[in-house]
C-alpha cells in the first residue's frame, strides 16, 4: 500500500498583511503533480487544512478545488483530520456526502475506535483535541493535560486493535522533543501540550501534523510531513514537501520528497545602502525577505524604499544599537507568551510571577488566543 502524507496546508495564511494564497495555489499544483507521479492508494492530510477557524471565501474555494482535484479528478481517496487551526464546522459540513466519493474528513470523536481499513491496513484517526474535549466527550474527570488525554485515547484504541495486523495512526499534536517554528499556534497556554513518543508504541507508524519542520523529531515510526511551503522566517533554508510511504504488512519504507516553492523566505543581514544599491546576493527579488539592517540612522520610510526593489519584503529591523540597561536581553522568538511576560515581570519587579497573579495572566492569554482563533 502506498500513502502520500501531507499536512498543515494553512490555506488562507497571511503574513504581515501579505496573502500567500497564490503561493499556496502554486504549491498545491506541485502536489497534484506528485500525486499523478506516485499514484498513491490514499492521500493523508494530518490537520490544519485552513489557517483560520473561519476562513474567507477565497480560502474555502482553494481548499474545495484542491480536494476535488485529488478526489474526483485524480480519483485518489483522501483521509483528512482537523487541526488546531481548523474550524470543525467549516470542514465537516459535507462529511456524509464526501464519504461516497472516498473523501473522509474527520473532525469529531465518535469514530476514534473504529479504524478505516484499506488494503489490509487499519488507519486510526485522531483529530486535534484539547484535554477538555476528551474529558467532556468520554466523561473522564481525571484528564487535565494533553498527555493524559492522549494516553486515554491510546488505551481505548488498544482494546479494539488487532495487533497482528498493520495499524497506523493519523493525528495532529506535539510530540515531546519535536522542533517547533514561529508559524505554529500554541496548542495551549500555561499547561504542558507535548505528548511523549512512547505513548504511541502500539502503532506500526504514526503520521502527524502540527509541527512544521519535516524532521521535527527523530523516530523510527513517528513522522511529521511538515508544511508544503515555508510560513515564517524561522523556516528559511528549510526543505518543504511531503512524505511517501510504501507499506508491506508491518514493514514500511518512507522518504521525504521536497517541493520547490514559488517564492522562498530569506533573512538577510546587511547594510542599508548595500540593499538599496542591490549589492547583496539574492536568487529572486520576488522572494519574501526579512532584512536586518545596519546604518539606518538618517533613513526615512526604509520599508517603502526597499519594496521598490524587493516588493515582497515583509519585515525590516535594525541591528546596529546596543541593548540598553533598561531592556531585557532575551530572544522572544524562543519563548512562549507566558515566558515573555514572566521575564518582563521579573525584570521590572525583581519578583517571580506566580500564584493568583500568574493564573490571571494565563486566563487573559487563553481568552485572547481563543478570540483570535475565532476571528
Determine the pLDDT at residue 339. 77
Residue 15, phi then psi, degrees to nearest 5: -120, 120
Span 48-90, pLDDT tens digits: 999 998 899 999 999 999 999 999 999 999 999 998 888 776 6
CA 362, 368, 370: angle at the middle one, nearest 5?
100
Q: Which domains are seen in the chain, by residue range? A: 2-258 (3.60.21.10), 265-318 (no CATH), 332-373 (no CATH)
Summarize the confidence of residues 211-222 as an average pLDDT: 94
Radius of gyration for the chain, computed over Cα atoms and rounded to the nearest angstrom: 22
Span 283-303, pLDDT tens digits: 999 999 999 999 887 888 899
pLDDT band at residue 333, thresholds of 50, 70 and 90?
low
Determine the pLDDT at residue 188. 46
Average pLDDT value for the chain: 87
Lowest mean pLDDT among 190-199, 233-242, 257-266: 190-199
Cβ-based neighbours of 14, under 8 Å, separated by 6 or more: 20, 51
Amino acid at each position: 500500500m502506498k500513502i502520500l502524507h501531507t499536512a498543515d496546508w494553512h490555506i488562507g495564511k497571511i503574513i504581515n498583511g501579505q496573502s500567500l494564497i497564490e503561493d499556496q495555489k502554486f504549491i498545491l499544483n506541485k502536489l497534484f503533480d506528485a500525486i499523478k507521479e506516485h499514484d498513491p492508494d490514499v492521500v493523508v492530510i494530518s490537520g490544519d487544512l485552513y489557517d483560520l477557524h473561519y476562513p474567507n471565501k477565497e480560502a474555502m474555494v482553494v481548499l474545495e478545488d484542491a480536494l476535488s482535484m485529488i478526489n474526483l479528478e485524480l480519483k485518489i481517496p483522501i483521509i483528512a483530520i482537523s487541526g488546531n487551526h481548523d474550524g470543525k464546522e467549516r470542514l465537516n459540513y459535507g462529511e456524509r456526502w464526501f464519504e461516497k466519493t472516498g473523501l473522509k474528513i474527520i473532525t469529531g470523536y465518535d469514530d476514534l475506535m473504529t479504524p478505516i481499513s484499506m488494503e489490509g491496513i487499519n488507519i486510526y484517526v485522531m483529530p486535534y483535541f484539547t484535554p477538555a474535549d476528551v474529558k467532556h466527550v468520554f466523561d473522564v474527570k481525571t484528564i487535565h493535560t494533553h498527555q493524559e488525554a492522549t494516553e486515554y485515547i491510546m488505551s481505548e484504541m488498544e482494546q479494539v486493535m488487532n495487533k497482528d495486523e498493520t495499524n497506523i495512526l493519523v493525528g495532529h499534536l506535539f510530540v515531546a522533543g519535536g522542533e517547533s517554528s514561529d508559524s505554529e499556534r500554541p496548542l495551549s497556554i500555561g499547561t504542558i501540550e507535548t505528548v511523549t513518543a512512547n505513548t504511541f508504541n502500539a502503532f506500526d507508524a504514526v503520521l502527524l501534523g502540527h509541527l512544521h519542520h519535516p524532521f521535527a523529531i527523530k523516530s523510527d515510526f513517528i513522522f511529521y510531513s511538515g508544511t508544503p511551503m515555508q510560513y515564517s522566517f524561522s523556516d528559511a533554508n528549510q526543505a518543504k514537501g511531503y512524505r511517501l510511504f510504501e507499506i508491506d504488512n508491518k514493514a514500511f519504507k518512507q522518504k521525504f520528497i521536497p517541493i520547490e516553492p514559488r517564492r522562498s523566505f530569506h533573512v538577510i543581514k546587511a547594510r542599508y545602502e548595500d540593499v538599496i544599491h542591490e549589492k547583496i546576493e539574492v536568487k529572486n527579488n520576488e522572494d519574501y525577505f526579512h532584512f536586518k539592517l545596519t546604518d539606518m540612522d538618517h533613513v526615512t520610510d526604509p520599508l517603502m524604499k526597499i519594496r521598490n526593489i524587493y516588493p515582497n519584503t515583509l519585515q525590516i529591523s535594525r541591528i546596529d544599537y546596543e541593548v540598553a540597561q533598561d531592556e531585557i536581553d532575551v530572544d522572544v522568538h524562543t519563548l512562549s507568551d507566558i515566558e515573555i511576560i514572566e521575564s518582563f515581570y521579573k525584570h521590572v519587579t525583581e519578583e517571580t510571577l506566580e500564584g493568583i497573579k500568574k493564573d490571571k495572566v494565563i486566563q487573559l492569554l487563553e481568552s485572547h488566543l481563543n478570540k483570535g482563533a475565532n476571528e
